[in-house]
Amino acid sequence: MELAPGVVVTTTAYNGQVPGPLLRLREGVPVTIDVTNVSANPDIVHWHGLAIDSLNDGAMEEGSPMIAPGGLLRYTYTPKPAGTRCTHTRGSGRDLSLGTYSGQFGFLLVEGKADAGAYDQEIFLAIHHWGPSFVPMVETMRAESANQPMTTGSDVGYQYASINQHMLGAGEPIRVKQGQRVLMRLLNASATENVILALPGHKFKVIAMDGNPVPNPTAVEVLSLAVAERVMRWSR
């Protein structure tokens, strides 16, 4: 995938695209989704933010089954609650080419009865980091005894960041007309990094966080999204 001219990464992706296909479901209406694993590694799909049973949730630690290479798994559940959710794989161990370090993520929109209001455009933006590598660091432990040693650990650093499939300055810009009302759904699809977003000269009215309506929608200049967090906002 070409993030920018001359910047190419290799990744596993849902249906060969990053982000994966937008899935629009209706709250309370049962769905069946078949996932085929054509990669060389066992994998799983997590339906982030849904209140569903552990068998279908897609979390290994809760007993959800892995999909073997070449295998197919049928997920059957009733999506709830309504809101901006997401899909992603889980786990990678120390292999930084797998799991949430890869391009296996996408938007899952569960439509309910709540009305977001009239808008001219609906835009989905997912932020992701690419080119991960382990970066040495030293953590100093405050000792309760004089013999407490200093310990070393590791963190992950990245070469690139993208919004959807492109780095800033590459790909087509979002085109809007003056006075249009734009509904933006944002997802931090990074494996480890929180992100801060701003659009200078504009404020954004936040109407939902993590897929759930906020009690008091507020206009802000800067947004901070933790890993896997979603924000829904108006912009004019």
**88 and 127 assigned to the same domain:** no
**125 and 76 assigned to the same domain:** no
Confidence of residue 142 (pLDDT cuts 50, 70, 90): very low
**21 and 106 assigned to the same domain:** yes
Residue 96 lies in a domain: yes
Question: 108: buried, middle or exposed (CB in 10 Å: 19+, 13-18, 0-12)?
Answer: buried
**53 and 127 assigned to the same domain:** no
Question: Could you report the per-residue pLDDT of 162-204, keeping only the tens digit for each?
Answer: 999 999 999 889 899 988 999 999 999 999 999 999 988 888 8
**Domain span including residue 72:** 2-111
Question: Could you report the per-residue pLDDT of 8-58, keeping only the tens digit for each?
Answer: 999 999 999 999 999 999 999 999 999 999 999 999 999 999 999 999 999
Structure tokens at 94: 């120390």
Q: What is the CATH number of the domain that holds 78?
A: 2.60.40.420
How far apart, in whole angstroms, are the C-alpha atoms of residue 182 and residue 173?
Answer: 14
The structure's pTM equals 0.88
How far apart, in whole angstroms, are the C-alpha atoms of residue 140 and residue 73?
Answer: 45
**85 and 126 assigned to the same domain:** no
Nearest one of 74, 92, 104 to 14, comparing CA atoms? 104
Which of 82, 111, 140 is the C-terminal boundary of a domain? 111
**24 and 66 assigned to the same domain:** yes
Number of domains in the chain: 2
Which of 111, 141, 175 is the C-terminal boundary of a domain? 111
**20 and 45 assigned to the same domain:** yes
